[in-house]
Structure 1
């Protein structure tokens, strides 16, 4: 399995616009369901799911199921180097995900978002 322990694998995983935005959004929100991500990034569920699968394969994210919803968060075992890189990117480039966060905010509070999800 290719993991984020390899700097090359880490940078390749984050080198895609959608994957980088997903990682930063999840950092900002702590946890997100797929429907929130599709709404925030205005992209299809299959496209988001493909990117999430790659991020999971690289052990950057973990998921949990709750009924029909799948929620993602940063992997608890994420190495300190990868976590530091993501934290620095998040702190210096929040403007990068502001449009997505604004779309997400228009979904309303979490219980309402769950009703709209999936």
Structure 2
């Protein structure tokens, strides 16, 4: 393995400092893209698998991080162990909270009702 050639320690320090911003931008973009790809999947309760979902914003069975966060907060408020729940309980909670969310009213207007 060869060392990178550099003439002066001072120029090497300056070179590395100039590289920080492009590296930070590349890392930030890669992380954003990875999270975006992850959000395109939803957990299908019947098959117990992550499935690619092209209509994630309009998908009625798409669990979101906010569903899990709100469900765990509800468990804490009720004095229930927030880590002791089944997938079905979380799914039922998400479907009820999604159907009562005014932002999802367009799904109801289109005729795709969520069973509670």
**Structure with the greater relative contact order (CA < 8 A, sep ≥ 6): 1 or 2?**
1
Q: Return the structure number with greater helix share.
A: 1
Q: Same fold (TM over 0.5)?
A: no
Find the structure with the greater CA-based Rg. Answer: 2
- TM-score under structure 2 length normalisation: 0.23
- TM-score under structure 1 length normalisation: 0.23
